[in-house]
Amino acid sequence: MIPISYYLILSTIIFAISIAGIFINRKNILILLMSLELMFLSVNFNLITLGNYLGDLTGQVFVFFVLTVVAAESAIGLALLIVLFRNKKSIDVDDLSELKG
């Protein structure tokens, strides 16, 4: 049996990698979106781990709600990325301020 601390440490490492991806790379919007997805993955991993450890299904059910929000966020983010690329021919975050109407 693997102890719960190993799962929580793995989730913390995944979360730290996503935070590093956000702070290190502020130019490419695609990397920022992937870092946000990784952050949500680590939070879901925590919810599943703690729900299983406590024997409660509430955390595992809550994961489905988080996944729907993440899917919507990902779809909107990728749509904005496509619009940005069509207008500016680049995916730099600095070009987003030029799209103000």
Mean pLDDT score, 12-17: 95
**CA gap 52, 1 in Å, rounded:** 13
Q: Check residue 101 and give its pLDDT.
A: 59
* pLDDT(97) > 90: no
Segment 44-66, tens digit of pLDDT: 999 999 998 988 888 888 999 99
Q: Which CATH number is associated with domain 4-88?
A: 1.10.287.3510
Segment 55-96, tens digit of pLDDT: 888 888 899 999 999 889 888 888 888 887 887 777 777 766
* pTM > 0.85: no
* Annotated domain spans of the chain: 4-88
Check: CB of residue 60 under 8 Å from CB of residue 49.
Answer: no
